[in-house]
Structure 1
Amino acid sequence: MSLSTAEKKRLRQIGHHLNPVVLLGGNGLTDAVLAEIDARLEDHELIKVRVGGEDREARQEAILEIARATQAEIAQTIGKLVLLYRPAKRPDPKLSNLLRAAT
């Protein structure tokens, strides 16, 4: 699944006002963190994750690993924030950032 430029633009517009729902801290990318990101993606479809650390290359590797492990698409990366998108199997209109933005 690859996002078109128009799709990425729409997701960035929706994601602009979102706050990070998962913070990747000093323990790095653990199974628990990946499980939390996976659960939040299933609930919200579009989420922001803050990836800590000062090493830019390590942050980029962590972002790519998150996307690979959760089968999510990277809609945008700005500094330590990444906007991830993955369609939910059963979207909940009360939780999905995409469905709530459409109303």
Structure 2
Amino acid sequence: MLTGKQKRFLRSQAHHLSPIFQVGKGGVNEHMLKQIQEALEVRELIKISILQNCEDDKQEVAEQLAKGTKAELVQLIGLTVVLYKASKNNKKIELPTRG
């Protein structure tokens, strides 16, 4: 679980990122989750955009993405989801310590 301080830090890190995945009419599926997991292992922090034609609720989509990839939901702003998952082999982001 991330602290508020850590989430703020990650939001500032994600600000300049562009979304690299899109959730459309088909919603969230296994293939997409696998690709997102691989991207998280490499990048740790990614943005995903939810398209207007997505039939599912954006909050549900964000939660499905986080749960399906075992990542932390950093932010859902508008139709953009920010996910974070510490990488096992490519650790780049140093989170502020709790306190």
TM-based fold match above 0.5: yes
2:77 is matched with 78
Which has the larger displacement, 30-39 or 55-64? 55-64
Please report the TM-score for the alignment, with normalisation by the length of structure 1: 0.82
Percent of aligned positions that are identical: 33
Q: Which 4+ residue blocks in structure 1 deviate beyond 4 angstroms?
A: 54-57
Q: Which sections of structure 1, spanning at least 5 residues, go unmatched? A: none
Matches within 5 A, 1:33-44: 33-44=32-43
Q: Which region of structure 1 is more displaced relative to structure 2, 2-11 or 27-36?
A: 27-36
- Name the TM-score, length of structure 2 as normaliser: 0.85
Partner of 2:68: 69
Q: RMSD of the alignment, in Å?
A: 1.9
Aligned residues: 94
Distance 1:45 1:79, change over 3 A: same
Distance 2:2 2:56 in 1: 24
